[in-house]
Every structure is written in structure tokens, then in C-alpha cells.
Structure 1
Amino acid sequence: MTGGLHADAVATLTSWHAPSPEQERLRELYLTVLAQRGDAMYRSSRPDHLTGSVLVFSADHRQVLLTLHAKAGLWLQTGGHCEPSDTTLAGAALREGVEESGIDDLAIDPVPVLLSRHAVPFCAPGGHHLDVQLVAVAPGGATAVRSEESADLRWFDVAHLPANTDDDVRNLVSAGARRLREDHAPAPAAETVYKS
């Protein structure tokens, strides 16, 4: 249970350079959970488990695609739990992004942007999602299609996010936009484009 996805998560977080002391504390916490739990990548790990999310940017990087989470009532990036079929953390986040956005050919940057630890009373009472947050870029002219998991799905200007989102999303949008400005868009490649 500690091969494949688990090993990829350890390697990803071990090599990741945290952008702040708080993010470094989270990185160390995630690695501790991974060291202690063979099932840390799955919802069976209690109280905490890792998840993967991806903030989808438009091709011109001016908009982000957010989903209105049915249970939380907040506009959030796409993402969720890892599945046994996932072999990499970036692949898990990308799969979730494709499923929740309806956009098949997202190009993802496999290097995390931020980490976010948040309580999830509707998933694991008393526990937390240890979310690894990445960014992806949609192709020009992409049409988003809402999934059954979402109450709504919309593009928002990077500078005009909806009121009912949270600081984690606002921080992710800022950090993601900065990543794209500095590193440009991730290039589609066999290992970074999800194929259903």
C-alpha cells in the first residue's frame, strides 16, 4: 500500500521548495503523515489524509474555473480524493480536474503551488484534508461542463473572485497566477494530460 502513489507523494513533497515558513510546516506535517500511514493517500486514513486539487486557468491565464461545492457552499478549485487507480499525485489532481471541469485536455504543472490543511466535517469528522494544490491550463476555447458533484461551475476573472470563496482559494489564485507568469503555461505532454 506504500508503493506507487504513496511513494510519488513522498518524492513530490520531499523535493518541493515551500514558499514560506507556514508552508514548510505543512510540508513537514504531510511527510510525517505519509511516514506514519501506509494509506495516507486514501480516505481510509483517519483522522487526516492527503488529497489533490487543481486550479484550472483559462488559456490566456485571465480567468479561473471554480466549482460551487454542494456541501461546503463555497466556490472552490477542482479536486478531491485519490483513487486506487491513481499512480501519481499530479495524475490524481488532474483526473479530478477533468472529471469536475468536463475539459479533457488540461495541461497540468506537476509541481505543487501551495498546501492547504482544512477541516472536513462532512468527510472525516474531526479530521482534515491535507490538500496538495496544483495549477493547470485549459486549451483555448475550452467549454466547461458541470459534474453531478457540483452545484455550479463558472469562470471568474482572476481579479474578481466571488464573495463566497475562502482565503485558501484567493491565496491559490494569487500563487497560481504568479507561477504562470514566472514559469509560463505547463506544456501538454503524455504524463501531464489526462486521458479518460
Structure 2
Amino acid sequence: MSTPDLPADAPPNPALHADALTVLRGWTPTSVPAAEARDRTLDLLAAGPEAMSRTHRAGHVTASALVLDATGSRVLLCLHGKFHRWVQLGGHCEPADSTLAGAALREATEESGVTGLRIDPVPIDVDIHPVACQGGSFHYDVRFAVLAPPGAQAQVSEESEELGWFPPHQLPTPLAGGTAQLITPALATLRRAPLHPAP
């Protein structure tokens, strides 16, 4: 979804690009594939702030969030309206975004309708996958753990066909590739430190 302050085709925020570099350079990857994806994402970011924009045909950085309920016993997934698979919340960075964690939290809030979400600013995964943006491209997706407040009630957005809370060991099908791998690092994040309010 676009941020109301700036049009979606406005130039990318240089602060977001700088944040992405800082976050990924300082990150300890959670798996070997995540380490490889992190390195490839840093290579992409060498193109400058344009690598944060959906208009960058070689690929662009996106931000997503695995939302956990207040007990950590369920995860919130959406049945995506375009590719009809269950997936974590998230999407494109917008011109007004200044941090990756902020972009992930904005997307999670917009797509879930849940206010009061908290995020850990340390990624739990990086994944690269092909998409149909701009006629064919790649998402270099930086993923975060997000905690919902007690009693959170999710509301379907225009980008989702359905939303649902699922136990981590009983994820729905069809499931998007790369979503299941977020469970273990997200739960580890929840055990390690309290998650933060919106940056």
C-alpha cells in the first residue's frame, strides 16, 4: 500500500537505503541460505537508493513481518490475493519509509488492521524470490518478527483474500515458499528480548 504523504513513484528515501546497508552489514544470518541472500542483497544495494524502489528492474528490497500473537503460540498469515498462497505480511518499501523495520511494521499494520504491533529491529531472515513486478523482477525480502497485543483482531485488507491465526506446527496450505523457515528464528527472537513499539 502507498503512504499518503508521498506518491508511490516518488524517489526512494536515501535514509532507507542507508538503514538497509547498516542493518544487513551488522546482521548475523540465521541460516546458510539467509547468509547467501544477505550477501546478494548487499550487492544489489550497491546500485544506490534505487534498489529500494519497485521500479528497479534488476530487483528491489522489500520488507515483511511474521506476526506472532501475544503468547507466541500462533502466527498470523494472509492468503495473498494475487498468488493465492498463505504468506507472512509485508511488501514494497514506500518513499516515506526511513527504516526497513519501519517499512515491515507499516505493512504488517496495514495488512492486518491490528494496531499496537511491536517489532524487533533485527531481521530473522533474508529471502530472494522471483515476482511479477514491472513485468518480472526479484524481491530481496528482509524479514522481521512482530508481536501483536493481547486480544488482537485481524481485519482482511484489499491485498488479502483471507487472514488467519495458525499454530506454528500447523501451517495452512498452499503455503508460500520461505514462510515456514521464519517460525524458528521468530520464536527465538521472542524468547531473547521483548519486541519494540513502532520506530
C-alpha change, 1:99 and 1:2, in structure 2 (3 Å) is closer
CA offset digits 1:19-55 (Å, max 9, x no partner): 2332222111111111124311110111200000011
CA deviation after TM superposition for structure 1 residue 179, in Å? 2.2
Aligned residues: 188
C-alpha change, 1:8 and 1:187, in structure 2 (3 Å) is closer
Alignment of 1:128-167 (within 5 A): 128-167=138-177
Task: Provide the secondary structure at the position in 1 that maps to 2:91.
Answer: strand
Measure, in 1, the Cα distance between the counterparts of 2:80 and 2:43: 29
Measure, in 2, the Cα distance between the counterparts of 1:74 and 1:97: 17
Q: Are positions 1:57 and 2:68 aligned together?
A: yes
Identity of aligned residues (%): 44
Q: Alignment partner for residue 182 of structure 2, among 169, 172, 178? A: 172
User: Does the Cα contact within 8 Å between 2:13 and 2:97 map onto a contact in 1?
Assistant: no
CA deviation after TM superposition for structure 1 residue 88, in Å? 0.6
Measure, in 2, the Cα distance between the counterparts of 1:47 and 1:125: 11
Measure, in 2, the Cα distance between the counterparts of 1:19 and 1:173: 12
Q: Alignment partner for residue 135 of structure 2, among 100, 114, 125? A: 125
Task: Provide the secondary structure at the position in 2 that maps to 1:104.
Answer: coil
Which segment drifts farther, 159-168 or 83-92?
Answer: 159-168
C-alpha change, 1:180 and 1:129, in structure 2 (3 Å) is same
Structure 2: runs of 5 or more not aligned:
1-11
Task: Provide the secondary structure at the position in 1 that maps to 2:144.
Answer: strand
Q: Are positions 1:99 and 2:84 aligned together?
A: no
Tell me the equivalent position of 1:31.
42
C-alpha change, 1:84 and 1:2, in structure 2 (3 Å) is closer
Structure 1: runs of 5 or more not aligned:
192-196
User: Does the Cα contact within 8 Å between 1:47 and 1:124 map onto a contact in 2?
Assistant: no
TM-score scaled by structure 1? 0.91
Q: Are positions 1:41 and 2:42 aligned together?
A: no
Which segment drifts farther, 60-69 or 125-134?
Answer: 125-134
TM-score scaled by structure 2? 0.89
Measure, in 2, the Cα distance between the counterparts of 1:144 and 1:20: 30
C-alpha change, 1:2 and 1:137, in structure 2 (3 Å) is closer
User: Does the Cα contact within 8 Å between 1:37 and 1:45 map onto a contact in 2?
Assistant: no
CA offset digits 1:145-190 (Å, max 9, x no partner): 1111110011111111002103411101222122223x143143x6
